[in-house]
Structure 1
Amino acid sequence: MKTTDYHCGVIDAFNEMVACGVKRLALSHPFATAEERAQVLPFVETITAKYHTMYYLEDRLLISDLFDPTVHEGKYMILFYREEKDLQAYLELKMVRAESLRRREYATVRTAIAHRFGELLSYPNEQIDRLIAENRQKG
C-alpha cells in the first residue's frame, strides 16, 4: 500500500468521525514535507465536501505534554473540524502556550494545555491522563 493511500484512508475515517460529532477536532498523520501533504489535498477537498467538514493546514502543531513532540516537530499536518469554534479554540490554545513560554509561566499551565488539547481531540479524561503520564518527551 502506498503512503498516500494510507493517509487518504485515515483522512476519510477521521472526517466521518468529525461529521458524526464523535470528534471535535482530528489530526492527520504527520507528513514529512509540505509537498507530500499537498499531494493529498485534492482528496481532502473531496472528502471534506462529502462530509461537510473543514480543514486547516498546520505547519507547526501545538506541542504539549499530550504527545511526544518529536513525532510532530518539523512535520506538516491537516486538522479536520466541523465547527469554526473548535479551530479557534485550538488556535487560541497555541497562543496561550506561546504567551506562557514568553512569560516563563509554562510550567504552571502545561498540564492544563495538554488536557485542553486532548479535550479538543475528544479524548476521554482517563486517556488524556494516561497519554500525559506515559509521555517521556514532554513538550
Structure 2
Amino acid sequence: MHEIDTYSYRCGVMDCFCEMVRAGVKSLALSHPVDSRAEWDELASFADQIARHYGVRCYPENEPFVTDLFPVSACRGKFLYLFYKADHTLAEYLRLKERKAALVESGAYFGGNRTQIAREYGRLLSYGDETVRTLLENNGEKEVF
C-alpha cells in the first residue's frame, strides 16, 4: 500500500467536501482541523483553488466553533477551512457562534440552550437528527466553563 502524506490527505478531504457542497449534499463542510497556523497557511492556496474549482466559497476559520458536537480538543486552538455555497450559510454559522458567546456571557449556556446550539450546528453541517444525537451522546470531552 502507498503511504499518503498528510498534506495530500488533507487536500483530498477538502476536494471531497467541496464536491459535496456543490452537489447540495452538505450546506457547510469543514476541512480537517490543523494544529498550527503554519499548517493552515500551507493549505490556504489549495483550499481557495479547490473551492473555486467547484464553484463554492471558502472561509478561513482560525477560531473554530466549539460545541458539544465534537470533542473540545478537536476544535479549540485549531485552524480549519469552511466550505459553503450560499452566503447565508456562513452568516448562519457566524450568528450561531455569536449566540453561543452571548449565552456563555450571560451564564445561560447549559442544559437545553447548550444542546440546542450543538443541534443547530449539526443541522448546518447537514447531519441528520440521529447522527447529531449519537455525536452528542458519544462526546466524552465537552467544554468546561
Fold-level similarity (TM above 0.5): yes
Task: Give the gaps of 5 or more residues in structure 2.
Answer: none
2:106 aligns with 103
Q: Are 2:92 and 1:125 aligned?
A: no
Mapped contact 2:47–2:81 kept (Cα < 8 A): no
List per-residue Cα deviations over 1:68-116 (Å, max 9, x = no partner).
1111111101111000100000000000000000000001410000000
- Is residue 57 of structure 1 aligned with residue 57 of structure 2? no
For the residue of structure 2 that corresponds to 1:106, the secondary structure is coil
Out of 39, 42, 63, which is 1:39 matched to? 42
- Indicate the residue corresponding to 2:7 in structure 1: 4
User: Is 2:117 the counterpart of 1:113?
Assistant: yes
What is the CA distance between 1:25 and its match in structure 2?
Answer: 0.3
Match of 2:29?
A: 26
1:41 and 1:58 map into 2 onto residues whose CA distance is 11
- Tell me the number of residue pairs that the alignment of Structure 1 and Structure 2 aligns: 139
Within 2, Cα distance between the matches of 1:82 and 1:39? 23
Counterpart of 1:40 in 2: which secondary structure?
helix
**TM-fit CA distance, 1:37:** 1.1
- 1:60 & 1:29 partners in 2: Cα distance? 13
So what's the TM-score if we normalise by structure 1?
0.97
Q: How does the TM-score come out when normalised to structure 2?
A: 0.93
Which contiguous aligned blocks of 4+ residues in structure 1 show a shift greater than 2 angstroms? Answer: none
Whole-Å Cα distance in 2 between the matches of residues 46 and 61 of structure 1?
Answer: 21
**Please, what is the CA RMSD of the aligned residues?**
0.9
Q: Do structure 1's residue 138 and structure 2's residue 142 form an aligned pair?
A: yes
